[in-house]
Amino acid sequence: MDLAILTDEISLDLDEALGEGKRLGFRKYELRCVDSYEHRVPYLNPGVEERLLNKVENQEIELTALTPGLFKIELSDTEGIRKALEDALPKTCEMATRLGAPRIIVFSFLRNGGGNPEEALFILKQAGEIAAEHGLQLSIENEPGFFCDTGVNTAEFVKSINAENVGINWDPANALVAGEAAYPVGYDAVRPYIQNVHIKDAIPVPPDKWENRLIGDGGVNWLGQLRALMNDKPINHLTLETHVFPVLEATQEDVRRLKIIMDAVDALNRQDA
C-alpha cells in the first residue's frame, strides 16, 4: 500500500516539501497550505498551481486530495456557508480537476454552534452535488466537536446523505479524541465509506483538549488499524498527517515508525498464511 503525505507536513515551502518528500520516498501528496498557513487551497499564491501542474504532467508527483478546510464553522455562519458553496468549493473542484486530484476533503460543522444535524446534512449534500458535477469525491473528515466526530457518527451521517461520491476521510486519532475506540469500533463503521485516511497519533487531555503525538506515542492502535487497512484495502494509499513540530523532523521520525509497523503487519500476515 502506498504512503502519501500532506506537503505542509514536510514544509510550507513547496520546493522543499517535494524535494524532502522525494528523499523520504513519497510520490503521492495531499495539498492543503503552501507558503504560509494563511494560503490554503484554493487561495494559493500566483504560480503555485502552475508549478504543481508541471510536476503532475511530468509524472513526478500525484495529488490524492485537496483540503480547503471548508465547513469548520458554525451552522449559524450563513455568510461562511454561502462563500463555501458559491466560491471556495467550486474553485477547489476546478483546481482539483486541473491537477488530477480525485477528491476534496471537508468537515461537518461545529456541533455546539447551533443548528441540528439535518441542516448540516442538507448543506453537505449540496456540497456533494457540486463535487459530483466535477466528477470528484467529497470526503468528510471526522473531527472532535463536529457533527461527524466519531467513526460511528460519521458513518451514519454519510449513510444519510446517500450520495455515491460522498464518503469519509477517516482519521482514527480524531475519533480517539472524540471518545471512541477508533480501531476496531470506529473503523468497522466507516470501512464501507472510506475514501481517504489520515495517519497521525494523539492523546486526550481532559476535560476537552488533546495533544498530537508521534505515531506510537498516542492512543491509537496503529498496528491493528494498519493491519486492517492493508488487508482490507478499502483504498490504495494512506496519508501521513504528522501534526507535530518541527514538521520535517517529526515527519522523518513518523515515516521511520510507520515502516516498522508496516513491516510488522507483513510479518504477522506471513505467520498467519
Q: Residues 132-185: pLDDT tens digits?
A: 999 999 999 999 999 999 999 999 999 999 999 999 999 999 999 999 999 999
Predicted pLDDT at 115: 87
Report the CATH number that the domain containing residue 196 is assigned in CATH: 3.20.20.150
Taking only the tens place, the pLDDT of each residue in 9-20 is: 999 999 999 999
Contact 139, 71 (CB under 8 A): no
* Average pLDDT value for residue range 98-116: 95
Question: Are 99 and 52 within 8 A, CB to CB?
Answer: yes
207: preceding bond cis by omega (within 30 degrees): yes
Whether pLDDT at 229 is above 90: yes
Of 244, 239, 265, 259, whose CA–CA distance to 67 is shortest?
239
Q: Residues near 85 by Cβ (< 8 Å), separated by ≥ 6?
A: 123, 126, 127, 130
Q: Which residues does residue 197 pair with via DSSP β-bridges, in sequence order?
A: 170
The residue whose grid cell reads 498557513 is 37
Structural domain of 227: 2-272
What is the mean pLDDT of the segment spanning 72-96?
98
Residue pair 21/29 in contact by the 8 Å Cβ criterion:
yes
Supply the pTM of this predicted model.
0.98
Q: What percent of the chain shows pLDDT beyond 90?
A: 96
Q: What pLDDT does residue 207 have?
A: 85
For residue 206, the model assigns a pLDDT of 87
Residue 2 pLDDT: 96
Helix (H) or strand (E) holding 227: helix 222-232
**Number of domains comprising the chain:** 1
**According to the model, what pLDDT value does residue 114 have?**
83
The residue type at 192:
P
**Dihedral class, residue 216 (left if φ above 0, else alpha if ψ from -120 to 50, else beta):** left
